Chains A and B, each alone.
Chain A
Amino acid sequence: MKQFLGFIKKEFYHIFRDPRTLLVLFGIPVAQLLIFGYVVTTEVKNISVAILDRSKDDVTREITQKIIESDYFTLTQNLQSDTQIEEVFKTGNIKEVIVFEPNFAQKLGRDGTAQIQLIADASDANTANLIVNYTSAIISDYVQKQNKLQLMPMQIKPEVRMVFNESLQSVYMFVPGTMALILMLVSAMMTSISIAREKELGTMEVLLVSPLKPAQIIIGKVIPYVALAFINAVTIIVLGNLIFGMPVNGSLTLLLAESLLFISLALSLGILISTIAKTQQVAMFISLFALMLPTIMLSGFIFPIENMPVVLQMISHIMPPKYFIIIIKNIMIKGTGFGFVWKETLVLIAMMMVFILLSVKKFKIRLQ
């Protein structure tokens, strides 16, 4: 036991004496959370719009007023003619042009219908879609309010409610995703690198010749990172809550326990990588390419799994982060208990067992 503690102490020396390791361990998680928090956003705010009002009557002014008041849009320019439309899009700042047809109020009063043209810059398709939806919503809102004053023959009005995320905030999406990404990266990459470093420097040779058992070497390598990754998980939950208002509706204990399970899984994956990789560089590349990209792309973090081609959907089933994200979304957002996530938990445990078995089998007590 004393041997084992000595080994762990040595690992902590390695971690705390290497500025790069410290940066990866503590700087990157915070930076990543902040970057994802502010960048990966599906909300629309202060979008520049231009208006081409060919009518300039009370109604168009009122609608324009509504749009500008909404917080989502900023009126950047009033256009005078059609020819200007293409021009303003080319300058790049303006994302949408709203065109009112001539004699807008008159037509509306006479025929009961008038036209507004929404032209959006679709070079960024997702944003264009969002902007148009927001604008349409504001306009229909206005129309409905006007309609209340008059009697209309028939009206169907769908009432939409976005459950679990009423205001469609993107934090709900990225905090669980970032947490999975960071825990995966920190745990798997750092352990695999630290084991590969011993091989590269030749100290593994001395460790193997010592009476330390392989299990002691592996567990001794892993324990410091379990502790540090756990601190990371807590940091992400706290930062997510304080800065981005990410709730923890379910049991915090369950959330931490599931995080610990995921950390262990990522670490066992890291050990498996290190049994293959002979140098730190190889270990890092495998970790980055085999773990980071799939975690971002195939885990449902950013892109919905349901929309993927069948082949990629199948691959996503073997991505551990996918299950972890489902679990923590359930706990944090829906506030559900273990009864709703036990299946995913079992999948994670099974995956971990497989990784541990494989690494124990592959870990060499000798050099060859």
Chain B
Amino acid sequence: MPDYSIIIQNISKSYGQVKALTDVSFQVEHSEIFGLIGPDGAGKTTLFRILTSLLIPDSGVATVEGFDVVKSYKQIRQITGYMPGRFSLYYDLTVEENLNFFATIFGTTIEENYHLIRDIYVQIEPFKKRRAGNLSGGMKQKLALSCALIHKPKVLVLDEPTTGVDAVSRKEFWEMLAKLKEQDITIIVSTPYMDEASLCDHVALIQKGKIMTIDTPAKIIEAYPDPLYKVSGPNMFNLLNQLRNFPKAKSAHRFGDSIHVAMKGDFGQAEIEDFTKEKGHEEIQVKPVNATIEDSFMALMNTNNDK
């Protein structure tokens, strides 16, 4: 049995009548990237606030590096680096002053842990005299990550770090996370972007405060139950609506510039081609396709809703 970095057992949390988390349990291994994937309002931020000792769960137990999040909050605050969803650095302080401040309050210096943040910080270092409020989204995010890392935390909690960040910066950001993993830092990260799931070692798909599945991204895709086809053509809008009402299809959803159609039972490519021809579509391309995390998420969501 591996020694876990984060253990969450049967955590529930409500805000008044609203149930934010229902009976959530999972473990995160040492120095892995664990992704919490789910749409807005799924309960990701609440769970992270419990892990960082900012909130107390209604029931259940959670430990970070062996410390209980309720009783040992002081120790937890020493060993975790937290990057909240909103940009929460000081706008009126310069890049360098922000970093210095966070280094100081964690009782360290920039020099001491410079090696940890070097790869990230060199990109914003040319702007170190600039006020944080004047940085672009991508640079703000890099600065926030540097600040969360400067005290060499054992666990890094990142709440939607790539939301509102351009595609290039998102890619760079994940490359940085991969490097940090090598430094023996456990990273738990939340994101609404399904395509980022494949970059995690393990992912938990969460919806409406409930964990739907936890596994490696590959296994989640493997577990996708139905034959899946990629359909594309000129009149996508009508096509999607019609495919959604196609009795032989289980589900259809937009996926980039095409439509992913999951078929029932033994139905396949031929049935889709017949159906589209019948509806008067031309130049329709139908190809079998491998499922992605997003497809799995949709499928799980549908089965959960059906229950």
Measured CB to CB, the residues of A under 8 A from B are 2-3, 5-7, 9-10, 13-14, 17-18, 201-203, 205-212, 365-368
Contact indicator B73/A6 (Cβ below 8 Å): no
- Name 18 interchain pairs, CB-CB below 8 A, sorted by A: A3-B106, A3-B107, A5-B104, A6-B105, A7-B104, A10-B90, A10-B101, A13-B93, A14-B90, A14-B93, A206-B89, A209-B54, A209-B77, A211-B77, A211-B105, A366-B54, A366-B56, A368-B55
Which B residue sits closest to A18, measured CB to CB?
Answer: B92
| B100 contacts chain A at the CB level, 8 A cutoff | yes
Contact indicator B101/A367 (Cβ below 8 Å): no
* Most chain B beta-carbon contacts within 10 A, residue among A201, A202, A211: A211
For chain B residues 39-61, which have a beta carbon within 8 Å of chain A? 49, 52-56
Q: Which residues of B have CB within 8 Å of A203?
A: 88-90
User: Which residue of A5, A10, A206, A212 contacts B88 across the interface (Cβ within 8 Å)?
Assistant: A206
CA A86 – CA B172 in complex, angstroms? 85
Which B residue sits closest to A368, measured CB to CB?
Answer: B55
Contact indicator A206/B84 (Cβ below 8 Å): yes
Q: 3 closest A-B pairs (Cβ-Cβ)?
A: A6-B104, A202-B88, A202-B86
Which A residue sits closest to B92, measured CB to CB?
Answer: A17
CA A318 – CA B107 in complex, angstroms? 42
For chain B residues 98-114, which have a beta carbon within 8 Å of chain A? 100-102, 104-107
Contact indicator A211/B106 (Cβ below 8 Å): yes
User: Which residue of A6, A206, A212 contacts B82 across the interface (Cβ within 8 Å)?
Assistant: A206
Which A residue sits closest to B147, measured CB to CB?
Answer: A206
CA A364 – CA B88 in complex, angstroms? 19
* Most chain A beta-carbon contacts within 10 A, residue among B52, B87, B100: B52
The prevalent SS among residues of A at the interface is helix
CA A1 – CA B301 in complex, angstroms? 51
Per-position binary interface string of chain B over residues 284-301, scored 1 when its CB falls under 8 Å from any chain A CB and 0 otherwise: 000000000000000000
CA A130 – CA B77 in complex, angstroms? 67
Contact indicator B78/A211 (Cβ below 8 Å): yes
Which B residue sits closest to A2, measured CB to CB?
Answer: B104
Contact indicator B89/A210 (Cβ below 8 Å): no
Which B residue sits closest to A367, measured CB to CB?
Answer: B54
Contact indicator A2/B86 (Cβ below 8 Å): no
Contact indicator A205/B90 (Cβ below 8 Å): no
CA A9 – CA B97 in complex, angstroms? 10
Contact indicator B91/A201 (Cβ below 8 Å): yes
Per-position binary interface string of chain B over residues 245-262, scored 1 when its CB falls under 8 Å from any chain A CB and 0 otherwise: 000000000000000000
Measured CB to CB, the residues of B under 8 A from A are 49, 52-56, 73-74, 77-78, 80, 82, 84, 86-93, 97, 100-102, 104-107, 147
* Most chain A beta-carbon contacts within 10 A, residue among B55, B77, B104, B147: B104
CA A17 – CA B56 in complex, angstroms? 36
* Most chain A beta-carbon contacts within 10 A, residue among B73, B82, B88, B106: B88
State the Cβ distance, B211 to closest chain A Cβ, in Å.
Answer: 23
Asked, given contacts A366-B54, A367-B54, A368-B55, whether A6 binds B92 with beta carbons under 8 Å apart, the answer is no
Q: Which residues of A have CB within 8 Å of B54?
A: 205, 208-209, 366-367
Q: Which residues of A have CB within 8 Å of B56?
A: 366, 368
CA A208 – CA B82 in complex, angstroms? 10
Q: Which residues of B have CB within 8 Å of A14?
A: 90, 92-93
Contact indicator A13/B97 (Cβ below 8 Å): yes
CA A17 – CA B94 in complex, angstroms? 11
Contact indicator B92/A209 (Cβ below 8 Å): no
Which A residue sits closest to B159, measured CB to CB?
Answer: A205
State the Cβ distance, A19 to closest chain B Cβ, in Å.
Answer: 11
Q: Which residues of A have CB within 8 Å of B90?
A: 10, 13-14, 201, 203
Asked, given contacts A6-B105, A203-B90, whether A209 binds B97 with beta carbons under 8 Å apart, the answer is no
Which B residue sits closest to A10, measured CB to CB?
Answer: B101
Contact indicator B107/A2 (Cβ below 8 Å): yes
Contact indicator B101/A6 (Cβ below 8 Å): yes
Which A residue sits closest to B157, measured CB to CB?
Answer: A209
Q: Which residues of B have CB within 8 Å of A3?
A: 104-107
State the Cβ distance, A196 to closest chain B Cβ, in Å.
Answer: 15
User: Which residue of A9, A17, A202, A209 contacts B52 across the interface (Cβ within 8 Å)?
Assistant: A209
CA A366 – CA B93 in complex, angstroms? 25
State the Cβ distance, B246 to closest chain A Cβ, in Å.
Answer: 46
Which B residue sits closest to A220, measured CB to CB?
Answer: B105
State the Cβ distance, A64 to closest chain B Cβ, in Å.
Answer: 65
